[in-house]
Amino acid sequence: MTTAPSGSPLSNSAFLRAARGEAVPHTPVWFMRQAGRSLPEYLKVREGVGMLESCMNAELITEITLQPVRRYGVDAAIFFSDIVLPLKAVGVDLDIKPGVGPVVAHPVRTLEDVAAIPDLTAEHVPFITEAVRTLVGELAGVNGGTPLIGFAGAPFTVASYLVEGGPSKEYANTKAMMYGAPEVWEALMAKIASISAAFLRVQVDAGASAVQLFDSWAGAVNRDDYLQYVQPWSAQVLSSIGETGVPRIHFGVNSGELLDLMGDAGADVVGVDWRVRLADGIQRIGPDRGVQGNLDPTLVFAPTEVMTARAAEVIEAGRAARGHIFNLGHGVIPSTNPDQLARLTDFVHAYPLD
Binding site listing for substrate: 33-37, 82, 161, 216, 330
For residue 79, with 0-12 CB atoms within 10 Å meaning exposed, 13-18 middle and 19 or more buried, which class applies? Answer: buried
Are the C-beta atoms of residues 218 and 255 closer than 8 Å to each other? yes
CB of 68 to ligand CP3, least distance (A): 7
CB of 73 to ligand CP3, least distance (A): 16
Toward ligand CP3, which CB reaches closer, 15 or 151? 151
Give me the catalytic one of 20, 33, 277, 310: 33
Are the C-beta atoms of residues 208 and 148 closer than 8 Å to each other? yes
CB of 334 to ligand CP3, least distance (A): 7
Give me the catalytic one of 37, 275, 277, 310: 37
Toward ligand CP3, which CB reaches closer, 145 or 331? 331
DSSP sequence for 9-66: TTTTSHHHHHHTT---SS--B--TT-SSTT-HHHHHHHTT--HHHHHT-HHHHHHHHH
Toward ligand CP3, which CB reaches closer, 35 or 104? 35
Toward ligand CP3, which CB reaches closer, 21 or 252? 252
CB of 34 to ligand CP3, least distance (A): 5
Toward ligand CP3, which CB reaches closer, 175 or 330? 330
**Strand-strand pairing, 248-251 and 210-214:** parallel
- Told to judge if 72 belongs to the known catalytic residues of this protein, a careful annotator would answer no
Give me the catalytic one of 71, 72, 75, 82: 82
Q: Which residues, including other chains, have CB under 8 Å from residue 256's CB and lie 6 or more apart?
A: 219, 273, 275, 276, 280, 281, 284
Q: Which residues, including other chains, have CB under 8 Å from residue 241's CB and lie 6 or more apart?
A: 197, 200, 201, 204, 211, 248
**Strand-strand pairing, 94-97 and 101-104:** antiparallel
- Told to judge if 33 belongs to the known catalytic residues of this protein, a careful annotator would answer yes
Toward ligand CP3, which CB reaches closer, 101 or 256? 101
Q: Which residues bind ligand CP3 (CB under 6 A)?
A: 32-37, 51, 78, 80, 82-83, 96, 98-102, 151, 157, 214, 216, 253, 331
DSSP sequence for 287-330: TTSEEEEEE-GGGGGS-HHHHHHHHHHHHHHHTTSSSEEEEESS
Q: Which residues, including other chains, have CB under 8 Å from residue 129's CB and lie 6 or more apart?
A: 122, 202, 205, 206
Distances (CA, A) of 286 to 134, 271, 292, 322: 37, 13, 13, 9
Residue ranges of the annotated binding site are 33-37, 82, 161, 216, 330
Q: What is the largest CA-CA distance in the chain?
A: 59
Toward ligand CP3, which CB reaches closer, 100 or 320? 100
Are the C-beta atoms of residues 265 and 235 closer than 8 Å to each other? yes
CB of 101 to ligand CP3, least distance (A): 4
Vertex 273 angle, CA 143 and 213, to 5°? 65
Give me the catalytic one of 17, 20, 46, 277: 46
Q: Report the Cα 144 to chain-centroid distance in Å.
A: 23
What are the phi and psi torsion angles at 290 (to 5°)? Answer: -85, 170
Catalogue the active-site residues. 33, 37, 46, 82, 161
